[in-house]
Amino acid sequence: MAKPKKINWAKTLDKMSLEKGNEPLGDGWFTTTELMEECNLGTTRAYRLINKNLNEGKLEMYKGSGYNETHKILSRRIWYRFIDGK
């Protein structure tokens, strides 16, 4: 009888998690980093703008996860989208 192949479960789970992120569906979603690059804003001004629009009900927020190129891992990420008609 053949000896079963040893599976490195940690690497297997890590590979599986990288293949699946929890990103929002639909159009119009952006991250704070994308907002800062697109509008040429600094960090503080971008977050103030986002918070102001969230409080006024003009933005919706989605908390999920996506691949982080810098750290080469799946990490938490927040996306925003303008609510139609506001």
Q: Split the chain (86 residues) into runs of 10 and give each run's mean pLDDT.
A: 69 64 92 96 97 97 90 90 80
* Residue numbers of the domain that contains 56: 27-82
Task: State the helix-helix crossing angle for 43-55 and 32-39, rounded to 10 degrees.
Answer: 110
Which pTM does this prediction carry? 0.73
Residue 77, Cα to own-chain centre: how many angstroms? 3
> Would you say residue 13 lies in a domain?
no
- What pLDDT is recorded for position 17? 58
Count of domains forming the chain = 1
From the CB of residue 56, how many other CB atoms can be counted at a distance below 10 Å? Answer: 10
> Would you say residue 47 lies in a domain?
yes
> Would you say residue 33 lies in a domain?
yes
